[in-house]
Amino acid sequence: MQQVLIFAPTGDAHAGAIAWALEASGVEALWTPSTRLGAQARGSLMADADGIRAHSNACDLSRIGAVWHRAPELPGAAATMPEDREFAARQWQGFQSNALALEQSFVDALWVNRPAAAEAAENKWVQLRAAHAVGLRFPEAIASNDAAEVRALLRRCGRLVFKQFHTYMWQSRSSGELRSSDVVLLDAQSELPEAAIAVCPGIYQRYIDKAYDVRVSVIGDRLFPVRLLRRGGGAYVDWRPHIRDEDLLAEPIELPVAVEARLRALMARLDLVLGCIDLVVDHAGEMYFLEVNQQGQFLFVEELLPQLPLLRAMTSMLASGRRDYALDAVADVRFATYVRSERYRHLLAAPRAANPALVYES
């Protein structure tokens, strides 16, 4: 039986859906948080006159047709004395880093996405450089801790969107409320304190007066573009916090031929097989590239628009080990069916890892 290796946390809903869909199609899913596959598993990386290769007693690596490199966790230590755990954990992390860096020499299969390409694509300026090279328009932006540069950009653009490199979460000791940093709209009345900006760089991007947003889920050679806007008209500053709102309207759309060609060129330049691309469209119909999340959430799109077979597309690509997959390579699996399944209820009931939010006194 063909196998698919999935690196993702045990509570990941996307990994759970794909593993269920693969098994419903007769494909074995090997789902693990890291290269530490269990107490009885043994693994080796070999280098000799015959070349570079890997071996594991937990699975036959030659049977794996695809690897979904979704979100590997750092492996922890095995059962050791407390004083030795940090040392052992670091050794496991070094082993995993070496194994994943080998890519095809570790597992000769389709990688979704290759670790080196995935790491590079997490860099926003690498993305913007690639977008510029393929002719995609994007809003002017700076990443800076220089308040003078930010003020100059604000004067040129009128309004800016402030974003963080990494979303930050914290919890109030006094109220217990969980909070997170968010996208902020800046204008001429906004405070831009020199000292605060100097100690913490951020991303400042020209605000586009949007008519709507476009989310493009790219799964191998297939693109699934969707328009997102308010039912009453207009766009959200950031649609993500409103994904469950009744006011959110999602519609399948067709991309302009030139834009689709540039998005395909962008994915090729970044060497990505899977990615979720965010675009915005202004009131004149101009389309702007914002970013691509190389392991973004895509099944919510099928939840909003059940006629779009994103779960089947991802399952077909992994099962066939090909970017140019056929949808009928697997069973007619639907996300709505998975959500009603016992497997999904079991995943929801499973213990979760502790939230790493910073606790502070408000």
Give 73's DSSP letter. Answer: P
Residue 357 confidence (pLDDT) above 60? no
Q: Looking at residues 71-76, what average pLDDT do you find? A: 87
User: What is the tens place of the pLDDT at every residue in 270-289?
Assistant: 999 999 999 999 999 999 99
User: What is the tens place of the pLDDT at every residue in 98-132?
Assistant: 999 999 999 999 999 999 999 999 999 999 999 99
Q: Would you state the pLDDT for residue 179? A: 75
Polymer length of the chain? 362
Q: Would you state the pLDDT for residue 1? A: 59
Q: Looking at residues 50-65, what average pLDDT do you find? A: 90
Give 241's DSSP letter. Answer: G
Q: Would you state the pLDDT for residue 114? A: 97
In sequence order, which residues have a C-beta less than 8 Å from that of residue 91 and are 6 or more positions away?
none
Could you tell me what percentage of the chain is helix, strand and coil, using 3-state DSSP and rounding each to the nearest 5? 35, 25, 40
- The rounded mean pLDDT for the chain is 91
Q: Would you state the pLDDT for residue 32? A: 92
Distance CA 15, CA 341 (A): 15
The helix-helix angle for 13-24 and 342-349 (nearest 10°) equals 150
Residue 356 confidence (pLDDT) above 50? no
Q: Looking at residues 296-306, what average pLDDT do you find? A: 96
- Output the six-digit token pair for 355: 């939230």
Q: Per mean pLDDT, which range of 54-58, 71-75, 201-205, 358-362 is the poorest?
A: 358-362
User: What is the tens place of the pLDDT at every residue in 229-265?
Assistant: 999 888 988 888 888 889 999 999 999 999 999 999 9
Domains and CATH numbers, the chain: 3-119 (3.40.50), 140-206 (no CATH), 210-349 (3.30.470.20)
Q: Would you state the pLDDT for residue 46? A: 93
